[in-house]
Structure 1
């Protein structure tokens, strides 16, 4: 099945879902195009990164708001583990509200900003604050919108590099799907190097989920399930957070979702479980981490029944009745997350359709918006530490 083939849903069922469905299905193709964009700019990108990555005490901060913030949670441990560099994930919503705390260290800093539109107030405010508070700061802007404020502001700045995603990654639907996965992939490639064989492997795995698992996942979107819990470890913990948000967004909050780490879930959050709860566990590819993920799968299956615990894994050897994604042998969790998130996207879309929602626009009254509105950015009271 190709990206252009339509997932079998009735026309009535798909009403209000066509855009989101298309943008979920197009992702493997978008990943190839995003990889090509990074590869085409490799020399300039490496030259830019070389100006900052060799600095002593370098701090790399991955930032964004909402879904874009969760990209940082995925890539930070993935890049740190492979490069040995200090990489942190701090949401723009934290940087803007508490700049003194999160930008307290005036050390050489690379701020990596993720933004679908580049127009959210916090995205623009965060880079301004970094410029004001830090003596030595560079910006890598990864965005899907060439006309966004963030991309235009830094397009000609010698201390910045703007990496634009393919046009189709600028999702027209309410929820971030192609934009999330393409920016995640591009950031990993930017820091870890071009990997065309790996991109093909990941894209093929994504196609496999879309072709072979959609119907089974749609069946799990039972209107009787009122809560869905997503669990993961390391980079997959941030994936669990994004998955929970996707379900809340597309169902307009009619299905309540939670997220946690495999170990953290026992420490109180496990209280959320009831007879109307589905649990999705993302199983790590790392053997040590994987042991903890499998422990929680076994524990939860015993507690609430195997049918209500879905393990998503890249290896079928350790666990029965899992959703096994083929072709991801020896792929690290950062890259695996790009494929695994499709599971949550399909579940979220299917729940929304089963509830009669309109996931392309879940909030027709405008109570929640595609690009956040109503945020007042309060002027930072300079205290003598800033440059500007």
Structure 2
């Protein structure tokens, strides 16, 4: 395996922050997550197999904020693998309109993602599923063994399975980094639980890709230092969820000072493209699917003709498009490897980290006002019967 320089600039005098450790630890953690799921594979398969045999089963993936983007990223892979309708809906939508998500007579598998497992919306969503579904099963993927979601799993062991990831995935910093990639990897591995041995080489591949991206830290720091007014992350399908997460990381870690957005390649043409000005960085997160890639390359080539000479960063396969104001991180892409969206997330994390440090913002606790916190605060949960018509 290649040797990389795992040092990042930091505001701390001892050269250490939670955020930098959590970003840099991810390639190694992915191997640990694979081993954990391999060790629990018999129990996971035993829980899921009878559920997935239910003919009219629907699957709902849920979480809040970053955890919600896990569902968006994993949805397509799970639906293809399980051949069941899979819908990603954030807990922040479910708690206000559960009847718009749950269908009472339809058997439902609710997969909940949560770093702490203590967010009010996450706990309430599990309760609402029990209320609004005649038949519901819960798969909880969390990083906190002592969180409310993890402890709920003991109440009804036949209907609930809780997968608790290694303690190192339970990020101590405000922004979720290793927790996001490790929970996403867990969901994808669970979808391949019957062929888990065949997935080892693919997980090893994304570890290599993660190290390739970490090895390009100087490029990402240089881009952060340029002080772009705006940053855009574009992705298609599974990469759209990753683009949203990259956008959120840059926004969180700069305390909202960096203007940024995310969209799909095709959706970007329909209005949001107006966000781009002459001092914008566009980050292209290319698909592993050659058919989708054709649409993506069309937008890149179209943007390259913009007389403002828009700066760009391409992440993906080695046959990048040559652009006059462009940069690229080339990865050895395998079209059949569903895990390759995971290391790409490091691009947004590193851009966010470097942007914070060079703006003299503490990446571990970037919110100067305290308006955002590691576990969301100030959310009141209201019972439906308490509402006045």
Which TM-score applies when normalising by structure 1? 0.93
Does 2:342 correspond to 1:343? Answer: no
Partner of 2:233: 230
Does 2:293 correspond to 1:290? Answer: yes
The one of 315, 319, 343 equivalent to 1:312 is: 315
Tell me how far apart the structure 1 counterparts of residues 191 and 261 of structure 2 sit (CA, whole Å). Answer: 31
Does 2:376 correspond to 1:372? Answer: yes
Partner of 1:303: 306
Partner of 1:357: 361
- Aligned residue-pair number: 379
Partner of 1:115: 114
Tell me how far apart the structure 1 counterparts of residues 351 and 336 of structure 2 sit (CA, whole Å). Answer: 24
Contact 1:204–1:327 (CA under 8 A) maintained in structure 2: no
Partner of 1:85: 84
Tell me how far apart the structure 2 counterparts of residues 367 and 382 of structure 1 sit (CA, whole Å). Answer: 28
**SS at 1:248's partner residue?**
helix
Does 2:338 correspond to 1:326? Answer: no
Does 2:204 correspond to 1:200? Answer: yes
Contact 1:15–1:358 (CA under 8 A) maintained in structure 2: no
Tell me how far apart the structure 2 counterparts of residues 326 and 376 of structure 1 sit (CA, whole Å). Answer: 45
Q: Aligned-pair RMSD on alpha carbons?
A: 2.1
Structure-2 change in CA distance of 1:353 and 1:44 (3 Å): same
Does 2:107 correspond to 1:103? Answer: no
How far apart are 1:127 and its partner, in Å? 0.4
Q: Mean alpha-carbon deviation: is it higher for 349-358 or for 12-21?
A: 12-21
How far apart are 1:368 and its partner, in Å? 1.1
Structure-2 change in CA distance of 1:3 and 1:116 (3 Å): farther
**SS at 1:258's partner residue?**
strand
Runs of 4+ in 1 over 4 A off after TM superposition: 1-5, 11-17, 304-307
How far apart are 1:297 and its partner, in Å? 1.3
**SS at 1:360's partner residue?**
coil
Tell me how far apart the structure 1 counterparts of residues 329 and 226 of structure 2 sit (CA, whole Å). Answer: 25
Tell me how far apart the structure 2 counterparts of residues 31 and 220 of structure 1 sit (CA, whole Å). Answer: 27
How far apart are 1:229 and its partner, in Å? 0.7
How far apart are 1:15 and its partner, in Å? 8.0
Does 2:46 correspond to 1:47? Answer: yes
**SS at 1:97's partner residue?**
coil
Partner of 1:185: 185
Tell me how far apart the structure 1 counterparts of residues 179 and 221 of structure 2 sit (CA, whole Å). Answer: 23
Contact 1:300–1:309 (CA under 8 A) maintained in structure 2: no
User: Superposed, which structure 2 residues align to 1:259-270 within 5 Å?
Assistant: 259-270=262-273
User: Superposed, which structure 2 residues align to 1:161-180 within 5 Å?
Assistant: 161-180=161-180
Structure-2 change in CA distance of 1:341 and 1:45 (3 Å): same
How far apart are 1:323 and its partner, in Å? 2.3
Tell me how far apart the structure 2 counterparts of residues 175 and 16 of structure 1 sit (CA, whole Å). Answer: 19
Does 2:276 correspond to 1:277? Answer: no
Tell me how far apart the structure 2 counterparts of residues 177 and 56 of structure 1 sit (CA, whole Å). Answer: 36
Per-residue displacement from partner, 1:278-336 (whole Å, max 9, x unpaired)? 110111010110011111111222226666111111x222523552343332344x411
Tell me how far apart the structure 2 counterparts of residues 49 and 120 of structure 1 sit (CA, whole Å). Answer: 25
- Ranges in structure 2 where 5+ consecutive residues have no aligned partner: none
How far apart are 1:381 and its partner, in Å? 2.5
Does 2:217 correspond to 1:214? Answer: yes
How far apart are 1:85 and its partner, in Å? 1.9
Contact 2:315–2:331 (CA under 8 A) maintained in structure 1: no
Tell me how far apart the structure 1 counterparts of residues 122 and 107 of structure 2 sit (CA, whole Å). Answer: 20
Partner of 1:386: none
Tell me how far apart the structure 1 counterparts of residues 38 and 386 of structure 2 sit (CA, whole Å). Answer: 41
Contact 1:34–1:165 (CA under 8 A) maintained in structure 2: yes
Tell me how far apart the structure 2 counterparts of residues 230 and 220 of structure 1 sit (CA, whole Å). Answer: 14
